[in-house]
Chain A
Amino acid sequence: MLLSLYIDGASPLHRCPAGGKLTLLACTGIGIFLVSDPAWLAALLVVCLGLIGVARLPPGVVVRAVLPFAVLIGVFFGLHALLSSLETAIVIALRFGVMVLLGLLLAMTTRLSALVAALETGLAPLRLVGVRPERAGLVLSMTIRFIPLVAATYRDIAAAQKARGLERNVLALMVPMLVKLLRRADAVGDALTARGLDD
């Protein structure tokens, strides 16, 4: 999960400004779709693996984080190999592989607060058209913060309904889930107000 990916460290990548890393990720994300030579994409993938070494990230943690994406990339590879060509499948797999590794590098070497600050700085010009960058930053932070709480709420309700023999009843799961989440949203709003962060 993204919120637990950051790994404290003092590598050159940890020290790079979050804004620079975000910009590089965005540029690579666009630029990579202009490259269709598998050799260049493979070289880029090797560079990404090298950057993981530079960041001194524990290999076990990186492998565990990559694994779900690897499965997804495998599915894409298989589909493209069947429906298109092997070369297209390789190109698609390499592109996704590079983006996943770069995304993980960003998440594992950058604190969320630094990412939020970079996002707010990046969105600052949009103030002219009424956008409030600090709100966008808050939305990002809170989304990440509340993912495990929503998951825990679901687990609690699912266990309670299972105890009543209603584990297959979608309404019995969704109605209390919705009620609990709306109540929590109210309570979080009050907490933000109480902390003087309502405006």
Chain B
Amino acid sequence: MIVVEAVTHAFDPDPPVLVDVSVTLHERRIGVIGANGSGKTTFARLLNGLVVPTKGRVTVDGFDTRRQARDVRARVGFLFQDPDNQIVMPLVEEDVAFSLKPLRLDAVERQARVGAVLERYGLSALRGHPAHALSGGQKQLLALSSVLVRDPAYLVLDEPTTLLDLKNRRLVEQAIDGLDATVVCVSHDLDLMRRFDRILVFEAGRLVFDGPADAAISFYVDSQTCC
């Protein structure tokens, strides 16, 4: 369970980007929506400890993101919008194996885990290929594989389909649908959000709506069209 308690965050000296946000996340699929600059990406980054709150605290299964960042990151995987920023090794299988480095596994187990995750996301045939030669969707699936190979209990996705065409978007959406982990997904893709159990709507750094997908999306669409 992820608990966000009275969190305010500001990038000094600018005004706060998040103001007094409190929420407990335990559903399997949680969406986060809001206009550009509403604070949703900062909220997502709080959950993995990439951003530490100025006030308040965030805990993941009881581990505090401020003091126990390593434990938090072992539980919370993070997928970025642009996979090119996330893939750091030249070859497909090397990038997935790189995620396992801190676990100090033996070569046989490492290869087995890499092979299994690549198989699951249809990248087995590309395991020896250069990452830069993959399509956009394949790159995002590789980035996802590199996160999931560590078997995180939670996965935070920051606009994972924004840069993708329709075909690649569907590939990534199918992968998200099949995840065992609890997913928190920031997105402007309202069709994707409709499939989620719970949606948080952010506006000017505040959590302004928290509820089921249909009601939250109606609220968000109304708030964006009335002015």
Interface residues of chain A, those whose CB is within 8 Å of chain B, are 3-4, 6, 8, 111-113, 134, 138, 141-142, 144-145, 148-149, 152, 184, 187-188, 190-197, 199
Contact = CB atoms under 8 A, between A and B. Distances in A.
Contacts of B133: 4
Most chain B CB neighbours (cut-off 10 Å) among A111, A148, A194: A194
Interface in B110-139: 128, 130-133
6 contacts: A145-B131, A148-B132, A188-B88, A194-B77, A196-B70, A196-B150
Interface in B55-96: 70, 73-74, 77-78, 80, 82, 84-91, 94
B82 A197 contact: no
Interface stretch (B10-18, B97-105, B177-185): B97-105
A51 B99 CA distance: 35
Given A195-B99, A195-B146, A197-B102, A141 B89 contact: yes
Contact of A144 (B50, B82, B90, B128): B90
A142 B88 contact: yes
Nearest to A188: B85
A113 B128 CA distance: 11
Q: Is the interface of B mostly helix, strand, loop or mixed?
A: helix
Nearest to A113: B94
B48 A194 contact: yes
Given A195-B99, A197-B98, A187 B90 contact: no
B130 A3 contact: yes
Contacts of B132: 3, 145, 148-149, 152
Contact of B73 (A145, A184, A194): A194
A187 B85 CA distance: 6
A15 B87 CA distance: 27
A193 B51 CA distance: 11
B147 interface: yes
Contact of A113 (B74, B91, B147): B91
B80 A190 contact: yes
A40 to B, nearest CB: 36
A112 B94 contact: yes
A87 to B, nearest CB: 41
Interface string B138-155: 000000001100100000
Contacts of A184: 84-85
A145 B87 contact: yes
